[in-house]
Chains A and B, each alone.
Chain A
Amino acid sequence: MSRNINFKHRVAVVGAGMTLFRRRLLETPQELAWLAAKQALEEAGLALKDIDCVVIGSAPDAFDGVHMKGEYLADGAGGWHKPVVRVYVGGATGVFTPIAGWWHVASGLCRKALVVAEEKMSHAAKPHPQYVFRYIWDPIVEKPLNPNLIWIFAMEMHRYMYKCGVKKEDIALVSVKNKRNACGHPSAQLCDPNITVDDVLKSEVLVWPVQRLDVSPVSDGAAALVLADEAEARRITDTPVWIKGIGFTLDTTHWTNRDLAYPEYVRRAAEMAYRMAGIDNPRKQIDVAEPYDPFDYKELHHMEGLGLAKKCEAPILTREGVTQRDGDLPINPSGGLLGVGNPIAAAGLMKVAEIFWQLRGEAGARQVKKPVYTGLAQAWGDLMQAGTVIVLGI
């Protein structure tokens, strides 16, 4: 890997857009992609003809029930007659999509790129979208046990609780914070201004220690960004937000062979992004962060992997209010997946959009209190293997 290089083309985010996130939307996947893409283009003051290439993120295919989903989505994502590629790393896809967008522009192949992520979980999978996840397991040694998707995450959560001595009450604080934060988000599916820790602890037990309000919902939705090289970005806006660092890592498939208490794959992805962004003390240099929170414990787990908290320290920071919107280190001011919703790839890209809006001071009701110059978004996926990190700055 090259170090300390000067990239010929700096890459900026110049526009973002997204749909509502809801349990069930009328629109087709193509239509959702189009709604998000159109808003991002409008925000950048561009038309589709200005776009040189399109990067699509979506996973897994079985949700939309469409084989070769990238080709299918291309029509809605503005890909008609353009170079289009679809990338995926499971749940980590949403943050990975602009990472791939970065090299489309940084390489000089494209000057302006449209990055679109979409997922429609409501319509394909019967009897429940969770059933589709049966196919994420090893088909030979795991699937015959008839697993539910939540098993694997409950196992990771429980191991984390065991190793770090974390209580469910502390973890539930994350869900409460994020569902309250979501009330400032116009797209949010699960805003609840009055939710309490008690509500979380009394919700339906799915796979102990995971209860219903520990988990993000099933959602439909799409999100989009417009990326541009430096010259184009300066023409388009006075306030470009720069992509300062990218990082991605995939740990071994064999998750039953390793410790689940600490997300090493996130640490390594963050290291890659920090090295590129010149960050050596993330706790001090990152002003606002959107770590991936499909489960409440994951926000804590990921803060530790990202170096925003020491090992086992994230629950303490959370309890002390450090991660609140007006805290010293605002975490998931958007409301995250727990509050805004979780159309998988679109949810990750929503996080990147949030950092973009926060750094531009455009988050309105959600704007964090402290001044922010550098932020990051992170996502996670596969068999608890994938970490993707993007650092943005102004």
Chain B
Amino acid sequence: MTKVAIVGLGWSGFSPEVVDMSFREMMFKAAQRAYEDAGGLDPRRDVDAFISCQEDFWEGISIADEFAPDPIGGAMKSVYTVAGDSLQCVGQAYAMIKSGLFDVVVVESHGKPSDMLTLHDVMSMALDPISLRPLGLANIHALAALEARAYMAKYGVGPQHLAEVVEKAHRAGLRNPRASYAGRLNAGDYELSPVVVDPLREADIAKFVDAAVVVVLASEAAARDLSDTPVWVEGVGWRTETSTLELHDWAFPLHARMAAEDAYRQAKIADPAKEVGFAEVDNRYSFKELQHIEALGLAPRGSAAEMLLEEPSTQAAACPSTSAAARWPRGSPSKSTASPD
């Protein structure tokens, strides 16, 4: 069976509001960059299938896949949509190429949250319409706050740990030209950030940006043609826990653990803490980074926070993240994907 590689990547946007381009135009710009990066590939000739990762309510368009093909060179070609984040699409592309039917598959994802006027209402629509929505949560971040509390109480994590995550992410962002919210936080800045839902402060919550990202994946043979430096996808995993929040494990993201185990099995990784050189983990909330480091087996359960304080350099090397800004929350608390390369 063929190996699968990433051979090109492109982006556009990554600012709080892209006012001069529609989401379609952002997709086009990102696709142009990605195809150039993939050795000047011609999507009209060289690509077998395209996947667009989106959800109707994020787009404000019902059946949003209608708008997927043209901006990425996919008109009258094989295009479909995965309702999920782009990592899940990478998983689909991986399966498609492994099947032997597809040689080159393009994954596109975008978000234009600045177009949304009623973000809170839209996010609330992800709650069970019968058991949860009628509660009329005044702030959707309350769900994450519940998780944060459960996690912090169980493993003795305090605000100082969250502050450290926030500070590290903003600092790391300084070296990333796409990090709109990068910055150096001074001691005490974190405490000055207003509390949104205890224990989460504004600084704990990733802010939105408008952005589009396009990734080109290829089979081994195609990858060797397109790129001198393909990055091999050694394993992918995605798992759903439950959308019934009453049954959800609030303290530990089991879904992420299971997804990681799938990916590690494929990648033949026995001890991720030793074998994974660096990681980009979902840190849409500060505490999520700590939770995910543990779920991914990069630190023992409940120890990510202490590691962070004790060995900040090791920790930063193990888990540098772009910036809190570069996260566009597209998943639900119950879903996770992992894809170590």
Interface residues of chain A, those whose CB is within 8 Å of chain B, are 1-2, 5, 7-9, 28, 54, 59-62, 65-72, 74-75, 79-91, 96, 100, 102-104, 106-109, 132-136, 139, 246-254, 264-265, 268, 272, 276, 381-383, 385-386
CB closest chain-B residue, reference A76: B243
Which of B94-102, B164-172, B267-275, B287-295 forms part of the interface with chain A? B94-102
| In contact, B95 and A109 (Cβ under 8 angstroms) | yes
B242 x A80 contact (CB < 8 A): yes
Are B102's CB and A72's CB within 8 A? Answer: no
Of residues 53 to 76 in B, which have CB atoms within 8 Å of A's CB atoms?
A: 55-57, 60-63, 65-70, 74-76
B320 sits at the interface (CB 8 A): no
Known: A104-B95, A107-B98, A251-B69. 17 other contacts (CB 8 A): A1-B102, A59-B56, A60-B62, A62-B62, A68-B332, A74-B243, A75-B242, A83-B259, A86-B83, A87-B82, A100-B80, A106-B101, A107-B97, A134-B62, A250-B80, A268-B76, A276-B101
| Contacts A80-B240, A90-B66, A254-B70 given; does A100 touch B101 at CB 8 Å | no
CB nearest neighbor in A for B58: A67
| Cβ of B85 to closest chain A Cβ, rounded Å | 11
- CB-CB < 8 A to A70: which residues of B? 83-84
Stretch at the interface among B119-127, B206-214, B277-285: B119-127
Q: Most chain-A CB neighbours within 10 Å: which of B92, B96, B99?
A: B99
CB distance from B26 to the nearest CB of A (A): 15
Whether A7 pairs with B78 at a CB distance below 8 angstroms is: no
Whole-angstrom distance from the CB of A133 to the nearest CB of chain B? 7
Is B335 in contact with chain A by the CB < 8 A criterion? yes
Q: How far is the CB of A232 from chain B (nearest CB, A)?
A: 16
User: Which residue of B48, B97, B240 is within 8 Å of A83 (Cβ)?
Assistant: B240
Q: Are A83 and B237 in contact (CB under 8 A)?
A: yes
Q: Which residue of B lies closest to A56 (CB)?
A: B83
Q: Which of A66, A96, A103, A251: most chain B Cβ within 10 A?
A: A103
Q: A135 — which chain B residues lie within 8 A by C-beta?
A: 56, 60-62
Give the distance to chain A from B272, nearest Cβ to Cβ, in Å.
Answer: 19
Measured CA separation A210–B241 after assembly (Å)? 45
Q: What is the CA–CA distance of A154 and B99 in the complex, to the nearest angstrom?
A: 39
**B91 interface residue (CB < 8 Å to A):** yes
CB pair A71 B102 closer than 8 Å: no
Partner of B65, one of A28, A65, A90, A276: A90
Query: How far apart sit A137 and B326, CA to CA, in the bound complex (Å)?
Result: 30
Contact of B81 among A7, A66, A87, A132 (CB under 8 A): A87
Q: Which residue from chain A places its CB closest to the CB of B121 in the assembled complex?
A: A67
Q: List which B228-279 residues lie within 8 A (CB) of chain A.
A: 237-244, 254-255, 258-259, 262
Most buried by A among B57, B91, B100, B243: B243
Q: Are A65 and B129 in contact (CB under 8 A)?
A: yes
User: In angstroms, how far is the closest chain B Cβ from the Cβ of A163?
Assistant: 20
Q: Which one of B55, B65, B241 has the highest number of Cβ atoms from chain A below 10 Å of its Cβ? A: B65
For A88, list chain B residues within 8 Å (CB): 63, 65, 80-81, 83
Q: Given that A71-B332, A87-B80 are known contacts, is A250 also in contact with B99, CB under 8 Å in the complex? A: no
A-B contact count (CB 8 A): 203
- Asked if B130 and A61 make an inter-chain contact with CB atoms under 8 angstroms apart, the answer reads no
- 0/1 interface trace, chain B 319-341, chain A, CB 8 Å (1 if under): 00000000000001011000000
Interface residue count on the B side (C-beta < 8 Å): 62
Interface residue ranges, B against A (CB under 8 Å):
1, 48, 55-57, 60-63, 65-70, 74-84, 88, 91-92, 94-103, 122-123, 125-126, 128-130, 237-244, 254-255, 258-259, 262, 332, 334-335
Q: Which residues of B contact A248 (CB under 8 A)?
A: 78-80
For the complex formed, measure the closest distance between the CB of B306 and the CB atoms of chain A, giving whole angstroms.
29
B130 touching A67, Cβ below 8 Å: no
Task: Give the nearest-CB partner of B125 in chain A.
Answer: A67
Contact B95 A381 (CB under 8 A): no
Flag if A136 contacts B63 (CB, 8 Å).
Answer: yes
Majority DSSP secondary structure for residues of A touching B? mixed
Question: Whose C-beta in chain B lies nearest to the C-beta of A5?
Answer: B100
Q: How far is the CA of A382 from the CA of B63 in the complex (A)?
A: 7
18 contacts across the A-B interface (CB closer than 8 A)? A2-B102, A28-B130, A59-B63, A65-B125, A65-B129, A68-B126, A71-B240, A71-B243, A84-B335, A89-B65, A90-B65, A90-B66, A107-B95, A249-B79, A250-B80, A251-B75, A253-B66, A272-B78
Once the chains bind, are B92 and A85 in contact (CB under 8 Å)?
yes
**Given known A90-B63, A106-B100, A108-B1, contact A71–B122 (CB-CB < 8 A):** no
Most buried by B among A60, A62, A68: A68
Q: Are B60 and A67 in contact (CB under 8 A)?
A: no
Q: Enumerate the 6 nearest inter-chain pairs by beta-carbon distance, A residue then B residue, closest first.
A: A107-B98, A135-B62, A67-B125, A250-B79, A106-B99, A84-B240
A200 → chain B closest CB, angstroms: 28
Minimal Cβ-Cβ distance residue in B for A53: B238
- Cβ of A246: which chain B residues have Cβ within 8 Å of it? 101
Task: Quote the shortest CB–CB distance from A59 to chain B (angstroms).
Answer: 6
Most buried by B among A5, A71, A382: A71
Given the complex, which residues of A lie within 8 Å of B242, measured CB to CB? 74-75, 80-81
- A88-B128 Cα distance, complex, nearest whole Å: 21
Docked-complex contact A250 and B78, CB < 8 angstroms: yes
Least CB distance, B68 to chain A, in whole angstroms:
7
> Which one of A87, A108, A252 lies within 8 Å of B70 (CB-CB)?
A252
Residue pair A136, B335 in contact (C-beta under 8 Å): no
A8-B95 CB under 8 A given contacts A67-B125, A87-B80: no
Q: Are A382 and B76 in contact (CB under 8 A)?
A: no
The reply to whether A385 and B84 form a contact with Cβ atoms under 8 Å apart is: no
A139 touches B239 (CB 8 A): no
- Among B56, B103, B332, the most chain A Cβ lie within 10 Å of the Cβ of B56
What A residues does B82 contact at CB under 8 A?
Answer: 85-87
A109 to B233, CA, bound (A): 14
With a cutoff of 8 Å between Cβ atoms, the chain A residues found around residue B100 in the complex are 2, 5, 7-8, 106
B55 nearest in chain A by CB position? A68
Complex Cα gap A386–B81 (Å): 11
Which residue of chain B has the shortest Cβ distance to A268 in the bound complex?
B76
Contact A81 B258 (CB under 8 A): yes
Contacts of A382 in B (CB 8 A): 63, 65-66
CB distance from A7 to the nearest CB of B (A): 5
Q: Which residue of A lies closest to B66 (CB)?
A: A382
Rounded to whole angstroms, the CA-CA distance of A71 and B132 in the bound complex is: 15
